[in-house]
Amino acid sequence: MKKTIWLVLLIINCQLLIINSAKAQDSSRLQISLLTCTPGEELYSTFGHSAYRVIDSNSVTDIVYNYGTFNFDDDGFYLKFIRGKLLYYVSAENFRDFKNTYQSTNRGMTEQVLNLTGPEKKTIQHFLNENLKEENKYYKYDFFFDNCTTRLRDILKKEHDSAFCKKAVMPVGSRFRQAIHEYLDKNGKDWSKLGIDILLGQPCDAVMSAEQMQFLPDNLMKSLDSSNANNQLVLHEANLYPIQNDGNSRSLFTPLLVFSILFLGIVLIGLMKNKSDSNRIARAFLQGFDGIFFFLTGALGVVLVLMWTATDHSMCKNNFNLLWAWPAHFIMAFFVNSKKNWVKKYFGFTALALILVLLAWFFLPQQMNTGLIPVVLLLIYRSAAKYFA
């Protein structure tokens, strides 16, 4: 019995010595945390946000370092954004102000206090402060590979350990497009999802590595949690601002429904059209519609080509939406009502080619948005009508 008591006391004493030794080694009086904020209503906030919080007991400061800052007043802001050349920068603000901003928009916030040594904390704090300098703070933002979350991951990976980057927090084989679809579906952003699926090409369907999954704030948070099985990277976790998530109501008017109604409406008008004078309005409407429809489709194709070739957006390359959004339609729209033989052959070829595209729709290397199927059917229908006119 006495041996057991002495053994217990010895174990407790050893643990106290380890704790005291750790405290003695960490004289930095710093606490560094990862803040993970829930998604917001706006598209740019749909995927959440990450930032570092640094509490310095020596200088009595509580600062948040935010790599997701950009300037709307920047010269040529929209052109730079479209071309993928917009510069983001790191900014610092008081934690209370940062938290109030997210509370005002009802966005939750989770804090993970990181288990770092004193020297590691000092090194990270110094690095963050150096990044605040005008000559260091700017970087070219990339949503998938260099954003406000990956910057934090890379700092921790460099200054502490990269073990947390090696465990997947999504099913093996998950793709970039699937990852962003999860958030867009959850927030009921069907039209935003359509636009993103049109602009992002085949590279977005690449399989993510465990580290690449961490481009999303929630995934980095989960990675840090999962690392605790080995090295206790997170000392403790707290929900700083819990929210009641009632879920986002989905609109009934999804792209698939709206475009299906458009397709059926045009087909009905086409059935009304004949050579009698009583239906001149239907014929005139279809002639005007065809010109606008093919012009817009061609204009979209031109945009996709420019996004592929004239921007720094790597995910916009190899875009299979060009199989249906032909840039040539941009010119052919001006000849859409011509009876010339070469014009008819063009639209006949268009109809046949798009039928093949539709048959291969679900087998292409790029995941295509199903909301576009009625659009492709409409292109086939109006092209065939022009050929047989």
Asked if 272 and 282 touch (Cβ cutoff 8 Å), the reply is: yes
Whole-number Cα distances in Å, 308 to 20, 84, 199, 311, 314? 58, 11, 9, 7, 8
Token readout for 117 is: 């040594």
Res 18 pLDDT > 70: no
> What is the pLDDT of the chain when averaged over all its residues?
89
pLDDT confidence of residue 276: 57
What is the maximum span of the chain, computed from C-alpha positions, in angstroms?
112
What is the three-class DSSP state of 86? coil
Sign of CA dihedral 345, 347, 353, 359: negative
**How deeply is 35 buried, as exposed, middle or buried, from its count of CB atoms within 10 A (0-12, 13-18, 19+)?**
buried
Which CATH code for domain 24-170+208-241?
A: 3.90.1720
pLDDT in tens, 207-266: 999 999 999 999 999 999 887 655 688 999 999 988 766 555 677 899 999 999 999 999
DSSP string, 226-238: HGGGTS--EEEEE
pLDDT in tens, 23-80: 445 777 999 999 999 998 888 889 999 999 999 999 999 999 999 998 877 777 667 7
- Lowest average pLDDT, out of 74-83, 92-101, 287-296, 337-346, goes to 74-83
Residues 6+ apart with CB under 8 A from 306: none
The C-alpha atoms of residue 83 and residue 75 are separated, in whole angstroms, by 14
Strand partners of residue 55? 31, 62
Res 9 pLDDT > 80: no
pLDDT confidence of residue 8: 42
pLDDT confidence of residue 251: 76
Residue 184's nearest CA partner among 314, 298, 47 is: 47
The structural domains of the chain, with segments of one domain joined by +, span 24-170+208-241, 255-388
- Tell me what percent of the chain is helix, strand and coil, each rounded to the nearest 5: 55, 15, 30
pLDDT confidence of residue 364: 97
pLDDT confidence of residue 182: 94
pLDDT confidence of residue 129: 96
Average pLDDT over residues 89-98: 96
Residues 6+ apart with CB under 8 A from 355: 380
